A and B are shown apart, each in its own frame.
Chain A
Amino acid sequence: MSAAANLNKSDVQDKQNKSGKAAGSEDKKFFLLEKTALCGLFVSLAGIYIALLISIRPAAWTTLPIAPFTFTVGIGMIAAIVWAAGAVRKISKYGLGTGVPSVGMFGIGIACVISLFVVSLNMIWSPIIGAALALIIGWISGKLINKPLGMNIPGMENRLAEITAGCTLAMIASFVVVTGTVSNLFVTWGFLMRGTIALCFIGIAVAVFHAYNANLGPDEKEDRTRMLTILDASLLLLIFSVTALFLRKETGLEMSFQNMADMIGPVVTIFMSIVFILISYYKFWTYVKRDAWKITETGLLPSEEDLN
């Protein structure tokens, strides 16, 4: 009797839970108030602004601060890429019909235009303006793609806004990682004229869309995809920090980085990204082993005697 009562109770509780969940999913939160969006937006903005404000030291050539300690920006870049990749995962799970890379390339195309625009404004508020502008333009383009083009994917506007904003923040963060500032002049000479922008363009796009494209399938798990995204973003951060090291050692930005103390930022970023790569690779490998049904060895290649 008591067991039956317990069963009934548990059934009722289950029903209540389900109805509660259903009611919760009906009145959805605003998409920027979700946990991933808040995390990506605030961690990346905080990373950029901590680095910019930690040493308020206007250089002779610009009124904007130049950050020596750029490793917080690296964390911000990884957070922005994880945010955008999460949105790519949500939008591609529905089925685009044109492949996952297309949405990543669309996001990085708009992000490139917006991030160069806000950098050309030459203001300390550039990252915030860039995020807001990217959210607006991404939402408008998502609406246009959904309605006149007839894609009819639910939530296309919100996800495209998230992808665009994440790519924009990652691109601005990579400017700060390499040149140490969001100044017009330094970004032009340290980033555009040396061709680093091409690497940044395709690198961020690949980091955003690669993880879901590589993991997609019926057994796709969110934590595994996210860990692969962190691995991609850390590899990109390693490349950027090596670029920053050589850029600061050579000419170009030498006028503001005469002390050896200013080399601390790139060196710490290199070690930090290597640690991130090792940790995320190990965790990704454990997730792969967890999700795999069976792992078999392929054996060695046949020797010449076996072939004859």
Chain B
Amino acid sequence: MEQIIESVNLILLSGPAVLLPENPLYQLLLLLLITLGGVLITISVHLIPVGGAPAAMAQATGVGTGTTQLAAGAGLTGLLVAVSIYLLSENPLLCILLGGIGSAIMIAIVMLVSNIGYIYGIGITPASGKAVRDPITKDRQDIYVSKGTEGHGIPTAAFFSGIAGGIVGGIGGSLIFVALLKATGLPTAATALTMPDAVILSIALFFINSVIASYNIGGTIEGFYDPKFKKLPKAAIVSAIITFICGILCLFIMIQFAGFGLMEEFA
């Protein structure tokens, strides 16, 4: 009986074992980097040509799927590249840049394959419904748009805008990942222990920010020349606030998980 009471007291009164960061300024810098990464993800979703359900029926310009899925697919590829590069070379800058390029390759493949499907499968010419002339090639667009649709396929300007979006989004996701890994203060050989935490938290932040951007543009956007692109500052502010709140929690998680005696007992 005494044992039970003792264990009850032990359980109920055991406070949180909080490990405070040794260098608060360094953690603050990392928090700002995480916030910057979140804002970059929001900008990237505004650049990618997303058509949603209408584009799946070739009735709107862009790739025929939702913002969240498209951004997450590209972002997760970038994150995969970033993780592999971080394990190969310990250079954070190289990891961030190559993460962006991995994302851009993924989004370029998606746009190319869906364009092949639109052109040779459905038989339409890629044309923008929002601009009279293509901002890059200066070709006329409005005479090629089918009646009753808002454009179809992925024209040149939207394609380049999507590649730029992929680079920006991949850089944002990899920035969050590297900042979270650096928060632990462990040597590089031990990062495999905290890698799952950093990866799952950066995926979570990626989804949060892509949904915020998706709510701002209302589901569809064509690229940097779309009138909806001017609504970007609002989404950037909201994304910065929510990523800042979540970033505090994320840094706390990384410090706790890394320093909780995992090394001594299991390594």
Residues of A participating in the B interface, judged by any CB pair closer than 8 Å: 56-58, 61, 63-65, 96-99, 101-103, 105-106, 108-110, 112-114, 116-117, 120-124, 137, 140-141, 144-145, 148-151, 184-185, 188-189, 192-193, 195, 197-198, 201
User: Is there contact, CB below 8 Å, between A99 and B11?
Assistant: no
Counting CB contacts under 8 A, is B235 at the interface? yes
Output the least CB separation between A166 and chain B (Å). Answer: 16
Assembly CA distance A201 to B200 (angstroms) = 9
The CA-CA distance from A7 to B257 in the complex, in Å, is: 71
Task: Kindly report which residue of chain B lies nearest to residue A252, judged by CB atoms.
Answer: B266
- Chain A neighbourhood of B250, CB < 8 A: 113, 117
Interchain CB contact under 8 A, A145 and B200 = no
Contact B219 A97 (CB under 8 A): yes
Interface centre among A120, A121, A150 (most CB of B within 10 A): A120
Per-position 1/0 for B193-228, Cβ under 8 A of A: 100110011011111101110111011000000000
Task: Report yes or no: B208 in contact with A106, Cβ–Cβ below 8 A.
Answer: yes
Minimal beta-carbon separation of B266 from chain A (angstroms): 7
* A63-B11, A113-B201 known; A145 vs B256 contact (CB < 8 Å): no
Q: How far is the CA of A231 from the CA of B243 in the complex (A)?
A: 34
Residues of A within 8 A of B265 (CB): 61, 185
Interface string of B49-69 (1 = CB under 8 A from A): 000110000000000001111
Whether the pair A98, B215 counts as a contact (CB closer than 8 A) is yes
Find B234's partner among A65, A103, A149 (CB 8 Å cutoff). A149
Q: Does B237 have its Cβ within 8 Å of any Cβ on chain A? A: yes
What is the minimal beta-carbon distance from B262 to any residue of chain A, in angstroms?
A: 7
User: B238: shortest Cβ distance to chain A, in Å?
Assistant: 5
Q: Which residues of B are found within 8 Å of A109, using beta-carbon distances?
A: 204-208, 211
Asked if B249 is at the interface (CB within 8 A of a chain A CB), the reply is: yes
A96 to B216, CA, bound (A): 11
Also in contact, A63 and B219, with CB within 8 A (given A102-B66, A102-B214)? no
A97 to B257, CA, bound (A): 39
Any chain A CB within 8 A of the CB of B241? Answer: yes
Which residue of chain B lies nearest to A205 when distances are taken between CB atoms in the complex?
B207
Taking a contact as CB atoms closer than 8 A, the residue among B8, B68, B196, B261 that contacts A102 in the complex is B68
Contact status of A63 and B67, CB under 8 A, knowing A122-B16, A137-B245 = no
Tell whether, in the assembled complex, residue A197 and residue B196 are in contact, meaning their CB atoms are under 8 Å apart.
yes
Among B8, B17, B18, B211, contact of A105 (Cβ-Cβ < 8 Å): B211
Interface of B is mostly: helix
Q: In the complex, A105 Cα to B242 Cα: how many Å? A: 15
- Given A98-B219, A102-B66, A102-B67: A148 in contact with B237 (beta carbons within 8 A): yes
Q: Is the CB of B204 within 8 A of A124?
A: no
* Given known A-B contacts A109-B204, A117-B252, A122 and B17 have beta carbons under 8 A apart: yes
- Residues of B close to A195: CB separation below 8 A: 196
| Chain B residues with a Cβ closer than 8 Å to the other chain, count | 56
- The listed residue (A57, A108, A120, A149) touching B216 by CB distance below 8 A is A149
16 contacts between A and B (CB under 8 A): A56-B8, A64-B14, A98-B211, A101-B69, A106-B207, A113-B205, A113-B250, A114-B249, A117-B250, A120-B260, A121-B256, A122-B14, A150-B234, A184-B257, A184-B260, A188-B257
**Knowing A63-B10, A148-B234 touch, does A99 contact B262 (C-beta < 8 A)?**
no
- Say yes or no: is B253 at the interface (Cβ < 8 Å to chain A): yes
Known: A61-B265, A192-B200. 10 other contacts (CB 8 A): A98-B214, A110-B208, A110-B246, A112-B200, A137-B245, A140-B245, A149-B215, A184-B256, A188-B260, A197-B196
Is A189 a contact partner of B253 (Cβ separation < 8 A)?
no
Residue numbers in B under 8 Å from A151 (CB-CB): 215
B101 to chain A, nearest CB (A): 24
Which residues from B are CB-within-8-Å of A102? 66-68, 211, 214-215
Q: Are B66 and A99 in contact (CB under 8 A)?
A: yes
CB distance from A141 to the nearest CB of B (A): 5
Q: Which 10 A-B pairs have the closest CB atoms?
A: A120-B256, A109-B208, A109-B207, A106-B211, A112-B204, A121-B16, A109-B204, A98-B219, A117-B249, A192-B196
Q: Which residues of A contact B241 (CB under 8 A)?
A: 144
B204 touches A148 (CB 8 A): no
A114 to B253, CA, bound (A): 9
Q: Tell me if B88 counts as interface (CB < 8 A to partner A).
A: no
Asked whether any CB of chain A lies closer than 8 Å to the CB of B7, the reply is yes
Residues of B within 8 A of A189 (CB): 266
Establish whether residues A99 and B246, one from each chain, have CB atoms under 8 Å apart when the complex forms. no
Please report the C-alpha to C-alpha distance between residue A236 and residue B51 in the assembled complex, in whole angstroms.
32
A98 in complex: contacting residue of B7, B17, B66, CB < 8 Å: B66
Contacts of A113 in B (CB 8 A): 201, 204-205, 246, 249-250, 253
* Pick from B7, B18, B207, B234: contact of A108, CB under 8 Å: B207
